[in-house]
Amino acid sequence: MQTPKTITDCLIVGAGPAGLQAAYFLEKKGIGFHILERGKVGQFFRQFPRHRMLISINKVNTGLSSPDTKLRFDWNSLLNDEGQLFTDVSRRYFPNADDYVGYLDAFADRFADRITCGVKVERIAKEGDLFAVETDDGTTHHARTVIVATGVSRPWDADIEGIDLAEQYYDFDTTPERFRDKRVAILGKGNSAFETADSLVEEAQAIHVISPNPVKFAWNTHFVGNLRAVNNNFLDTYQLKSQNAVVDGAVTKIVKEGDGLTVHVAMTAAEGHEIVLHYDHVIACTGFRFDDSILDPAIRPEMRHMGKFPAMTEQWESEAAPGLFFAGTIMQCRDFKKTMSGFVHGFRHNVKCLSEFVANRVTGAPYPHSTAPLAQESLTATLIDRISTASGMFLQPSFLGDVVVLDGPDAGAHYIDVPMHWADRADEFKGRTVLRVTLEFGNFGPNPMHVKRAHTTDGDEADPFIHPVLRLVRDGEVLVQAHLSDHLDSDWRAPEAKDKGAGTVQRMTYVDAGQTLSGNEVAKRQIDAFFRRAGLFTQTPEAIPAQ
């Protein structure tokens, strides 16, 4: 007699931060799940970063009482209602990765009976309406949906002749004494490259950091995957001529010569110029990519962004197989190098949304929403509170935001921290007039350390720093929009609504107002002006005509 299949609502592949975050929200929604992990919980952070310092900030002292608002400055905790925070594990601003592994282990305890570690997923295939997930122990698991949260587990090898002669960031011996008085080339200009360079400054004779493109700084781009200040001490040793250098050039060939390696570089800063360099060590810090080999060819999506990430919809669902979802750093395929989906503090909010999409696929449940008041004064207060306290839209600027439905039978429905790409196409908003609220950055100009600004209240131009943006939208078309003024504390609430002792800004001068005003007063004026331009509250919102 054949044993009937055990079918799980959702099978999660990977027990890192994304897999655990997905499990947490699926459990909250009553969706059955099981996690398969080839190593241990938090396996990535047991190995990376190689020099063990995280660059995701862990700000303990914020002066804030709201748990959600404090997450703006806590980039490591997973979202949860029980107050299980990484800030209670470590007080270091740039914490040690070993402490984070301990946090993830403790977080996973709540569903330890639904995590199987030490099994490698070898194949994910579609069998009718179900997914079949085969593991290296000979087991085949069946599930209605699958969340792949394996991260970027394969090195991304640059197309360089002789690249096999280079040591690799993911497994090179980091013992500093190996590099004493040696010449070292590091391929790449991301944080792993400069993390490695910084670690060798005290030992190496000379260090060159090489890639075709110039260094991009996170303080310029507001993308935390670009070079962070905590990793850029090496640049001092270059600019102050201390035997180290940053080279803008494409490595074309690496050749073994004697006890060392000769590296040929086609300079990108000087067209037609080649430089030939000799080193004792070459270390490739060229990044990682998603391993798509576990996906059966029939459901394997195209790879995007130089073959690093699988193609996915605005719901982070595979374009090749409905019901197959992606979570974690691979979510950045949707907002590559624009917002923070590649990092815990960004994708934890994405995963909360993802759990709703999975629940809809399993049970048909609609996307949940709260209710916003549609009286002008009350709605203004709601908007100001959200832009001042929400962590999701703050950490995922322009990517996640709020949507308030303004007409129809569900007028007042308030969708919180949802993907704007999804909002463009969601059935919930078709044929409806909605108000979208996001936080966004403007243009800093050539020098982000000296930004000139017009300080007016008109709301026509985007301030350079993070600021609220209101848009009246119908069927994906923006009808009216307004940029509210930025705020040094990113808190537009009235003083009495703030935590005592929190924040610094009291009033600022606005040229067109002719006086100093509080940020709260300016925000209210700008929101009121937006409502007038949008034709809202000139009649009851329920009577807003269909267009």
pLDDT tens, position by position, 188-234: 999 999 999 999 999 999 999 999 999 988 888 878 888 888 888 89
Tell me the CATH class for 7-154+289-363.
alpha beta
Q: What is the pLDDT of residues 289-302, one digit of tens each?
A: 888 899 999 999 98
pTM: 0.92
CB 490 within 8 A of CB 473: no
Q: What is the mean pLDDT of residues 341-355?
A: 95
Please say if the pLDDT value at position 541 is more than 50.
no
Q: What is the mean pLDDT of residues 96-121?
A: 97
Domain definitions of the chain by residue range: 7-154+289-363, 163-286, 371-543
Do 163-286 and 7-154+289-363 fall under one CATH topology?
A: yes
Identity of the residue numbered 199: S
- The dihedral built from the CA positions of residue 89, 92, 98 and 104, taken in this order, carries a sign that is positive
Q: What is the pLDDT of residues 229-275, one digit of tens each?
A: 888 889 998 888 899 999 999 999 999 999 999 999 999 988 889 99
Percent of the chain residues past pLDDT 90, beyond the cut: 73
What does the angle CA 145 – CA 151 – CA 152 come to, to the nearest 5 degrees?
130
Please say if the pLDDT value at position 178 is more than 70.
yes
First to last CA, the chain: 62
Q: What is the pLDDT of residues 449-464, one digit of tens each?
A: 777 776 777 666 788 8
User: Which secondary-structure segment (H or E) carries 69?
Assistant: helix 67-70
Who wins on pLDDT, 46 or 3? 46
Q: Which CATH number does the domain 163-286 belong to among 3.40.50.970, 1.20.58.340, 3.40.50.300, 3.50.50.60? A: 3.50.50.60
Distance, C-alpha 338 to centroid of its chain: 9
Please say if the pLDDT value at position 547 is more than 60.
no
What is the spatial distance between Cα 110 and Cα 23, in angstroms, rounded to a whole number? 10
